[in-house]
Amino acid sequence: MLFEPFSFSGLNLRNRLVRSATYEKRADEDGFVTESLIELYEDLTRGGIGLMITGNALVHPSGRTITQMLCIHSDIYIQGLRKLTAAVHEMKGIIAIQLVHGGRQSFPVLLGGSDPLAPSAVFDTSTKIMPRAMTDTEIWEMVDAFGDAARRGRIAGFDAVQIHGAHGYLVSEFLSPHTNRRDDYWGGDEERRFHFVEEVYKAMRKEVGEDYPLMIKMNADDLMEGGLKVDGAVRIAARLEELGLDAVEVSGGMYESSRKTAQPDILDPEDEAYFRDRGKAFKSSLHIPVILVGGMRSRTVMEEVLQKGEADLISMARPLIREPDLPNRFREGKERADCISCNGCMDFGKLDIVECIQLH
Ligand SMILES: Cc1cc2nc3c(=O)[nH]c(=O)nc-3n(C[C@H](O)[C@H](O)[C@H](O)COP(=O)(O)O)c2cc1C
């Protein structure tokens, strides 16, 4: 099934393989598209992937998580982004852009010394950062920032936009009982914790119109004591589906969680597809396509996930850093990605650009 075409919301994918959003460190210092970034997407397109999702693009300067991060928080970025989508479309590729605000996982050193913003002032034990709780006005400003960024994404020619609602960044923080301790419109119970993503979704939909695919990547599980769990996550996804969401990508974890989003040492088939059970729970309650990410390495496991109806699309990050043409290699008979999940590619501080350190 892996190489059967798949269509949803006007997107016609040549196969079931997705490049999950992967921060590349290839934008310039000011967040503009570079030739190096375009080359990467040309390689991925040539490599046979069905759908590509860009590394997370910044919707507001207060949410910066990293250097050389792609930006979309101003109209000045549209021209460069348009060059990127044009290059991909020229080669018949399909590309979505992922939108992020880093929330409490942003770093003061990247924010001119300001405290990172979050739903609540909950100390992050991994970064040792105490964020500042956002005011109501600031929250609405960020809702608008997501809406504006989605508009820019569409104008720039992206085929779809994905909300980064996973991994403990701002949208995920509002959804998580661990990071959202508010008692107002934005938090206090599950209903109110849903409001931020709901308003973000509605602001984006208003800007892009009804006929444009909007997706979310979200945590099925924060992998944290007191965090979001799969039942609540499925209810959130179902409500977004009701509002008109087009697809959901299922992930998990945050900086603070002991088990990670990108789990290391995926060497045996049993270690693969580590969010598979969660994907299954999403599939059994939703009608929109479910994209599963997390440790997908061998063709047999991917086929099994699809055959069993545990997901509609298979998403990968680390294997495609090492082998951007992995889809073509699979199609030619390769059984397993070369990636050994050493996580060297995540050593953002050391690497000039994100790449596979095993190849050097
Ligand atoms: C270098 C690197 C950068 C990443 N950047 C992002 C990102 O920008 N947005 C996102 O949602 N996930 C990001 N992730 C997480 C991946 O998309 C994916 O969820 C995770 O790595 C598990 O999938 P894998 O086992 O196929 O790598 C990143 C992962 C890596 C290794």
- pLDDT tens for 153-205 read 999 999 999 999 999 999 999 999 999 999 999 999 999 999 999 999 999 99
Q: What is the mean pLDDT of residues 16-29?
A: 97
* Cα(261) to centroid(ligand 1), Å: 7
Contact 130, 121 (CB under 8 A): yes
Output the CA 269–ligand 1 centroid distance in Å. Answer: 20
Q: What is the largest CA-CA distance in the chain?
A: 55
- The residue whose CA has the least distance to atom 28 of ligand 1 is 22
- Indicate which residue's Cα is closest to atom 16 of ligand 1: 317
| Alpha carbon of 22 to ligand 1 centroid (Å) | 5
pLDDT score of 173: 98
- In 3D, which of 84, 73, 77, 78 has the Cα closest to residue 24? 84
pLDDT of residue 359: 82
Question: pLDDT confidence of 259, banded at 50, 70, 90?
Answer: confident
**Whether 44 contacts 283, CB under 8 Å:** no
* Residue in 23, 41, 77, 169 annotated catalytic: 169
Look at residues 268, 349, 315 and name the one whose alpha carbon lies nearest to residue 13. 315
Q: Distance, CA 136 to ligand 1 centroid (Å)?
A: 31
Distance 342 CA to ligand 1 centre (A): 13
Q: What is the DSSP letter of 294?
A: S
Average pLDDT (312-340) is 97
Are 81 and 100 in contact by the 8 Å Cβ rule? The answer is no
Instruction: Return the closest-CA partner of residue 149 out of 167, 171, 179, 118.
Output: 171
Confidence of residue 350 (pLDDT cuts 50, 70, 90): confident
What's the average model confidence in pLDDT over 110-135? 96
Residues at CB less than 6 angstroms from ligand 1: 20-23, 55-56, 98, 164, 166-167, 217, 251, 261-262, 293-296, 316-319, 345-346, 354
Strand-pair category, 6-8 with 11-13: antiparallel
Q: Where residue 348 falls among pLDDT bands split at 50, 70, 90?
A: confident
Decide if pLDDT at 360 tops 80. no
- Confidence grade of residue 349 (pLDDT, cut at 50, 70, 90): confident
Q: Pocket of ligand 1, candidates 17, 18, 19, 20: which has the most ligand atoms within 8 Å of its Cβ, to mutate? A: 20
Q: Which of 171, 315, 318 to mutate to test the pocket of ligand 1 (most atoms within 8 A of CB)?
A: 318
Atom of ligand 1 nearest to the CA of 54: 8
Percent of the chain with pLDDT over 70: 100
Does residue 110 surpass a pLDDT of 90? yes
Residue nearest to atom 18 of ligand 1 (CA): 317
CA distance 118 to 175: 12
Q: Whose CA is nearest to atom 11 of ligand 1?
A: 21
Tokens of 106: 């942003």
Helices (H), strands (E): how many in the chain?
A: 11, 13
Relative to the CA of 320, which ligand 1 atom is closest?
26
| Token couple for 54 | 């860009």
Residue 201 is among the residues annotated as catalytic for this protein: no
What is the whole-number distance in angstroms between the Cα of residue 137 and the centre of ligand 1? Answer: 31
Mean per-residue pLDDT of the chain: 97
Q: What average pLDDT does this structure show over 284-299?
A: 98
**How many Å apart are CA 64 and CA 62, to the nearest integer?**
6
Distance CA 124, CA 122 (A): 6
225-248 mean pLDDT: 98
- Residue nearest atom 29 of ligand 1, based on CA coordinates: 22
| Cα separation values, 260 from 11, 163, 255, Å | 31, 20, 8
Read off the tokens for 357. Answer: 């350190």
- Res 69 pLDDT > 80: yes
Q: pTM here?
A: 0.97
Q: Which amino acid appears at position 51 of this protein?
A: L
